[in-house]
Chain A
Amino acid sequence: MLLNHVSMSFRSIIKNKLYSVINIAGLAVGLAVSILIILFVSHETSFDSTVADHDRVYRLNWESKSSGSRFATFFNPLSPVIADAFPNDVEMVTRITLSERLLNIGENKQYQTISFVDPNFFSMFPYEFYAGDPATALSNLNGAIITQAAADVLFPDELAIGKTITLDGQHDFQITAIISNNKSNSHQISNIFVNMEMLPTVWNDPDIWQRNFSDQLYHYIKLAPNVSADVFAANAHTYISENINQEFGESISFIAQPLSDIHFTTELQNEMSVRDTVTGLSKPARQRSDINIFGFVAILTLVIATFNFINMQIAQSSNRIKEVGVRKVLGANRSQIAAQFIIESTVMSIIALIASLVIVEMFAPFFGTMLGVPLVADQIYSLGFISGLLLVSILVGILSGLYPALFVSGILPAKAIRSRVFEGVGSAKLRAGLVILQFSIAIGLLSATGIVNRQIDFALNKPLGYEPENVITVRLNNDEARDAYNIMHDQLLANPEITAVSRGSVIPTRDLSDGSTYLKEDEGPDFKINTRRVGVSDGYFDSLGMQFAAGRALSEDFLGDVLPSISPDNATVSGGIVLNETAAKQAGWTNANDALGQQIYSVFSFGGTDYRMNLNIVGVVEDAHYSSVRSEPASLSFLMTGGGNNMVIKASDGNLDKATQLVDQVWQQHVPSYPIRRTFLEEDYASFYAVEGRVFRMFIGFAGLAAMIACIGLYGLASFIADRRTKEIGIRKVLGASVLDIVMMLSWELSKLVIIANIIAWPAAWILMNDWLTGFSYRIEMTIMPYLLAGVVAFILAYATTSIRAWAAARINPIYSLKNE
């Protein structure tokens, strides 16, 4: 019987080709879009979930009580101390730190990120060993573990195992193991691992384990089951301040950051890079709200497509009333007819599911590239996912078959045979309701799209506060380069193509690091100005094109500007300082000029010595966006420390190429041992925002698709209505209606539903988008325009779609539509 029903279904699907194709296509596209988005969302929300017991694994963070800054790193020697102190709470501790080093393989020199790890790192994080022994690979301190990707890059045509790599021209390591690559949904990006015990040697820092306040490492800790992370962090904090140094208690707090939060935390200092330099894959942290929005779009798209499908099936069923009558006369009972409708819709929705999987297969790679996430359709083919999809399709099939099953199957055969078409109980109202809901969603998505687009444009085009054009940045990543800075500076500046050369600890697009807290001379110790500190040299502001709101830049021409280096012998120093506008406002000087000449100071004690810096404010610089335009510009202070590992070179207009050549030459001359690490600030800036922009352009694409699906449905519905009203159209034409009259009548009838849909869509979208916008510090004013526009676009789309069908219906000569039966 079932088989009979199914084969009947196929025949009926083929018989009603146009409806079937429209209906299956609409659902298939809707399903495909939903699946693609779900793939993306599940990729993003599955970050680090492959780590065993990941719900018990935390990364230790610390927070400065004075500045409120939170750091992804933790104090170098302290996690093993904590583990020893709380043996019942801690199952495992492991640490990692990444640093870019010069790597020699034979004659070949290249920069690579080298990661120093505790050997048990590989017990906590799930790498697969393709070659070598996990237990012993790092027990020889000169052993190195590399990923398959690193092996392919470093030793393209040879066996990597047993080969030697040399760090900084002096430390030899032998490859002892090859492991699997970093998963695309892991926050880890390391490819070359050596033993943490080599750190003092390679970094030439013998005291590294003695300095309790240095935080250069990431510390992961696995807690025993049922241990509360917050309680544990508090206990560990108490223990450290009581047993190691009470300063921890006064100025620092500890936080255990759940592993699954790392990918969703965007505001930590010292955060690990998100770019795997070997594979080139970037895994930027996301805002949870963004991912939620995508999930929401997936659901809405599915809802639109489902409504569409249900609507079309209901519409279709009333065309088949006669068939039902004939079947009944031939002896079919009500339940058999109901079953036929339900099975037919289910067969169609399963066909749509299969079609959608094909679409997903085709578009997953493209979609992944757009989002910067490697999406493979393979993820779908898990039992859970497939059965979930199947369940959804069957549910959609049953739901859309239910209405015709209930009403059409119940009609008396005599009535059924007599009427050519039939309006079931309330079916017109139900259909109108579904169309209104569908278009509410489509309009909501379209208006959201308008707002997203405007906001992203606004954010990306807002003044940065610096000029990335024609700026070359060079990493001063070794002593040879740092020592040669002054001579390179003079030599480069002698060229007319180069207008400014400077040096800074931080440049825009790179992480802001150290926090500094200042006090005002005329206020108590509780009035704090919390800033991020940037160490600069003469010409820093000039080379970055930063403008002053008041006062002047720090300059070597003013003796008092230069800050001498601070040491136990020279514990009180004084110099000039520049604040940015945000910092000045925070200090209470809303008018930048008021800050000029004011004295501020900072005090701290370290190793038993009290230090003090007295600072004279010489200028207030306009706010610049060092990090994402999503966040408020940070509060910044600039001190002339002379150091900094970034050289900034500004070329004059049109001379960037020449300047680049000069930089390369000067580097080769003075830093012959190291290849140059050079980038263009404009490119750095662009890649910084590329992902953000792309992700939301994607969003716009989806909203457009959803609207399109809604239109497919509308076309189907228009077809149905046109068919049902052929006779009426004929009568109207005989009575003098022109083709245009008919088209306007039919189109208006459906399009007016779209106007009603606005009433639902606007407030809902308004509330949601308002919420989304609060995630931006610089945001557009919400106006009615995007909503109006979305409404108008949806109306025009709906009107055009129905007009196409209505036109065809209106052209029919009434002598055919009114032919006596």
Chain B
Amino acid sequence: MLKLQDLTKAYRTDEVETVALNNVNIEIEHGEFVAIMGPSGCGKSTLLNIIGMLDTPTSGHYFFQDEDVAGYSEAQLGVIRKQHIGFIFQSFNLIDELSVAENIELALLYHDIPASERKERVAAVMDKVGIAHRAKHMPSQLSGGQQQRVAVARAVVGNQSMILADEPTGNLDTAHGQEVMEMLQQLNEEGTTIVMVTHSPSHADYARRTINLLDGHVVTESMRA
């Protein structure tokens, strides 16, 4: 599905250069469930942002479905991103002023989909993540786990083939964290590629493969038996 080749990302601030990613080579197949782990500041989020085309590498190649997107403009990346990639964040990032259904629908708003179809798809995805009875509620009226389920629904409602999740359980207690992981697992079983950053080894166990980063390098890659 995607292949990073000699990928480097350096941040330059006030004469200080931080190399967040250093010569990273990773390949992710379609339908994989990959966990990224490593200590704070090792470059996990940076890696995810580049994979998610929210950021561009300083050097190296990024083949997305055999297309090198490393030199693409922001607008070009935006077009690919909205078709293929869904995001889940640690802090849910729902819009407080919109209801659950509206938050999910937002992801379809920029896809030229007629209103009637949008409604159907939102209803379907809400059913799938078990949040349908909360459709008219505002995010502030939901528990953290429920909010994250809304976020998951939002990430997949546009039929994205890949979900990138940056510490999706970081703000959740064990029980709710478990729920979200099971949902991701289910999505993966249905064919969605998932790349997830996590600090929790038990949550990493849901993934088939774990990539360990340290100071911008890939140190180990382990496959679950």
Contacts and interface: CB of A to CB of B under 8 A. Distances in A.
Interface residues of B, number: 27
Interface in A799-821: 813-815, 818, 820-821
A736 B93 contact: no
Contacts of A818: 89, 91, 93
B81 interface: yes
A741 B110 contact: yes
B93 A727 contact: yes
A814 B90 contact: no
Choose among A733, A736, A820, A821 the residue with the greatest number of B CB atoms under 10 Å from its CB. Answer: A736
Given A818-B89, A820-B90, A734 B54 contact: yes
Contact of A736 (B82, B97, B166, B167): B82
A727 B95 CA distance: 8
Contacts of A731: 93-95, 106
A738 interface: yes
B55 interface: yes
Contacts of A288: none
Contact of A737 (B45, B55, B110, B158): B110
A730 B111 contact: no
B54 A738 contact: no
Contacts of A732: 106, 110
B81 A736 contact: yes
A738 B93 contact: no
Contact of B49 (A727, A733, A815): A815
A728 B95 contact: yes
Interface residues of A, number: 19
Choose among B74, B91, B93 the residue with the greatest number of A CB atoms under 10 Å from its CB. Answer: B93
B87 to A, nearest CB: 5
B71 interface: no
Contacts of B75: 738-739
The SS class assigned to the A binding surface is helix
Given A727-B93, A820-B90, A736 B110 contact: yes
Interface in B74-126: 74-75, 78, 81-82, 87, 89-91, 93-95, 97, 106-107, 109-111
A418 to B, nearest CB: 11
B107 A736 contact: yes
Contacts of A814: 54
A727 B107 CA distance: 15
Choose among A728, A735, A741, A814 the residue with the greatest number of B CB atoms under 10 Å from its CB. Answer: A735
A724 to B, nearest CB: 11
Contacts of B74: 739
Given A727-B93, A820-B89, A821-B91, A735 B54 contact: no
A84 to B, nearest CB: 85
B167 to A, nearest CB: 8
A733 B81 CA distance: 10
Nearest to B106: A735
Contacts of B97: 728
A813 B91 contact: no
Contacts of A735: 82, 106-107, 109-110, 154
A821 B170 CA distance: 12
Nearest to B50: A815
A727 B139 CA distance: 15
A820 B170 CA distance: 10
Contacts of A737: 109-110
Contacts of B94: 731
A815 B74 CA distance: 13
A736 B113 CA distance: 13
Contacts of B82: 735-736
Given A735-B154, A736-B78, A738-B78, A815 B107 contact: no
Contacts of B167: 820
A656 B119 CA distance: 82
Nearest to B75: A738
Given A728-B95, A730-B93, A820-B90, A738 B106 contact: no
Contacts of B106: 731-732, 735
B55 A813 contact: yes
B110 A738 contact: yes
A595 to B, nearest CB: 75
B13 to A, nearest CB: 13
Contacts of A738: 75, 78, 110
B110 A815 contact: no
A520 to B, nearest CB: 80
Interface string B51-73: 00011000000000000000000
B84 to A, nearest CB: 11
A739 B79 CA distance: 12
Interface in A700-747: 727-728, 730-739, 741
A739 B106 CA distance: 16
Nearest to B107: A735
A734 B53 CA distance: 10
A814 B45 CA distance: 13
B51 to A, nearest CB: 12
Contacts of A739: 74-75
Given A735-B107, A736-B78, A738-B75, A813 B93 contact: no
A32 B81 CA distance: 52
Nearest to B151: A731
Interface string A253-279: 000000000000000000000000000
A734 B87 contact: yes
Nearest to A733: B78
Contacts of B45: 815
A139 B96 CA distance: 90
Contacts of B110: 732, 735-738, 741
Contacts of A815: 45, 49, 54-55
A418 B81 CA distance: 32
Interface string A215-247: 000000000000000000000000000000000
Contacts of A733: 78
Nearest to B87: A734
25 contacts: A727-B93, A728-B95, A730-B93, A731-B95, A732-B110, A734-B93, A735-B82, A735-B109, A735-B154, A736-B78, A736-B110, A736-B111, A736-B158, A737-B110, A738-B110, A739-B74, A741-B110, A813-B55, A815-B49, A815-B54, A815-B55, A818-B89, A818-B93, A820-B166, A820-B170
Across chains A and B, which 4 residue pairs bring their CB atoms closest together, nearest first? A736-B82, A736-B110, A735-B107, A815-B54
Given A736-B82, A813-B55, A815-B45, 19 more contacts: A727-B93, A731-B95, A733-B78, A734-B93, A735-B106, A735-B154, A736-B78, A738-B75, A738-B78, A738-B110, A739-B74, A739-B75, A815-B54, A818-B89, A818-B91, A818-B93, A820-B89, A820-B91, A820-B166
Interface of B: 45, 49, 54-55, 74-75, 78, 81-82, 87, 89-91, 93-95, 97, 106-107, 109-111, 154, 158, 166-167, 170
